[in-house]
Every structure is written in C-alpha cells, then in structure tokens.
C-alpha cells in the first residue's frame, strides 16, 4: 500500500476511534452523577468520622461544568477502549507476520480485561489513599479540596493500577518473541520483587502499607502466573528446536 493509502487508512481509523470516544463520553455524561458520587465516598467517610471537615470545592463559576466534561471524557475513553484499541491494532496488524498477529490478538485479549480489573482494584485502594494523605491535616484544619485536583488524583490512581496489571502480559509477550526467557526471569526474581514494591510505593502516594499491598499482591500473583506461562512456552519452543536440529545445546535434558 502506498504512503497516501496508509494516511487515508490512518485518518479513517482515527475518525472511528474518535466517534467511539465521543459516544462513550455521551454515555459518561449520563453516568456523571453516580460515578462522582462513588468517587466522593472517601471524602464523605472523612467527614462522617467527625475528626475534621472535608469537602470538594468548585472554585470558579464554570468549574462544575468543566469537571463534568473532563469526567465524562474520562469515562468515555474507558467505555470505548475495546473500539479504539481495535482500530490501533487493525492499523498495525497488516505489517505483522502471521505469528505476530496471533501474539497481538492474545496481548489485546489479555491486556484489556486486566487493565479494567486493575482500574477496578484502584477503587478499593482509593479510600485508604485519601484517608492517609488527609491525615496529615493539622488538628482543627479543614480539607477543602479543589474538584479538579481531586479528579486528577483519582485518574492517576486508576490509570496506574490498570497499567500495573498489564505489565505481566508484556513480560509474556517478550517471552513469546524470544527476547525474555523464563530462566532469566527466575534469576532476576529479587530484582522483580524490588521493582514491584518500588512501583507500588510510587504509584500509591500514601504512607500506609495497606494501599501499597492492594497493588503489590495482585501484581506479584500476575507476575508468578506470567512466569509459569513463560516456562511452558520455553519448554515447547525448546522441544520444537531440538526436533528441527536447531537447539544450540542438545545435550541439555528436556523436562
């Protein structure tokens, strides 16, 4: 396909993805009230505890409308993610080999539900995060939180949790492409554990350990599962290469 044809296809797929996001944002507009009510639950819990006042503040006249637009678009991106991810995949896939196409389908099939699962897990960590961070408010102080700042904080937590759940899928993808072996993963387990804990500590900006473990435990479980998948894939690849006479160390026993 000539360059102009690729540009036309890119334009068409971008247009379809944009329409999907807009339609999702329309749905997000109607879901705004219940979603915002869920997001404000940690603030209400602080206020209900009686320790201090905690409120979401709309500083300007247009702030409520601006917040509704932003939250609606954010919801729309989540709702429409299968559509725009497919459009990205469909634009890239013609240049891939048959095996790479199968890998990409598997990656999307696993990454989308895991990202959504991680984003859902963020809602369990959010109350602890808000409670821990607002606990630094001095005695007699008041937490008047700008609505825009609060929404940005929530969005970061949700996206980071979602991406954290996708990382093990990336590890399996690298193994499928022959870049990362299960043996190398096994030898680097201490580094992986350290990276997971550091990532969780940075991703959950709270001083309490509970919020961090909301991310560490599922991440380590997914990494262990990914490692097991890599082991079976390495064994399958090794047997195939030995059968073809291409294995560099044929004296090494096959488990």
pLDDT(247) > 50: yes
**For residue range 189-243, what is the model confidence (pLDDT) as tens digits?**
888 888 788 777 766 655 556 667 777 888 888 888 888 888 888 888 778 777 7
Q: Which residues of 79-114 are buried (b: 16+ CB within 10 A; e: fewer)?
A: bbbeebbbbebebeeeeeeeeeeebeeebbebbbeb
Domain extents in the chain: 3-243
**For residue range 106-160, what is the model confidence (pLDDT) as tens digits?**
777 888 888 888 888 777 777 777 777 777 777 767 778 888 888 888 888 888 7
DSSP E strands, the chain: 53-57, 142-146
Q: Is 138 helix (H, G, I), strand (E, B) or coil?
A: coil
pLDDT for res 25? 92
pLDDT for res 13? 84
In this prediction the pTM is: 0.71
Tell me the C-alpha distance between 21 and 79, whole Å. Answer: 8
More confident residue, 251 or 198: 198
């Amino acid at each position: 396909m000539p360059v102009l044809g690729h540009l036309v296809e890119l334009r068409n797929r971008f247009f379809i993805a944009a329409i999907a996001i807009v339609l999702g944002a329309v749905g997000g507009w109607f879901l705004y009230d219940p979603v915002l009510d869920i997001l404000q639950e940690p603030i209400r819990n602080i206020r209900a505890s009686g320790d201090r006042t905690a409120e979401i503040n709309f500083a300007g006249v247009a702030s409520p409308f601006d917040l509704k637009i932003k939250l609606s678009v954010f919801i729309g991106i989540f709702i429409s993610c299968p559509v725009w991810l497919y459009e990205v995949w469909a634009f890239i896939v013609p240049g891939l080999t048959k095996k790479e196409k199968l890998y990409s389908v598997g990656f999307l099939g696993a990454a989308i539900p895991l990202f959504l699962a991680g984003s859902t897990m963020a809602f369990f960590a959010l109350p602890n995060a808000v409670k821990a961070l607002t606990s630094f408010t001095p005695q007699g102080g008041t937490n008047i939180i700008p609505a825009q700042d609060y929404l940005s904080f929530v969005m970061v937590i949700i996206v980071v949790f979602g991406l954290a759940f996708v990382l093990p899928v990336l590890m399996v993808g690298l193994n499928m492409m022959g870049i990362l072996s299960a043996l190398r993963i096994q030898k680097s387990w201490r580094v992986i554990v350290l990276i997971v804990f550091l990532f969780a500590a940075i991703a959950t900006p709270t001083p309490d350990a509970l919020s961090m473990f909301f991310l560490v435990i599922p991440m380590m479980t997914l990494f262990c599962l990914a490692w097991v998948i890599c082991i079976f894939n390495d064994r399958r690849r090794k047997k195939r290469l030995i059968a073809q006479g291409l294995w560099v160390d044929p004296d090494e026993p096959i488990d």
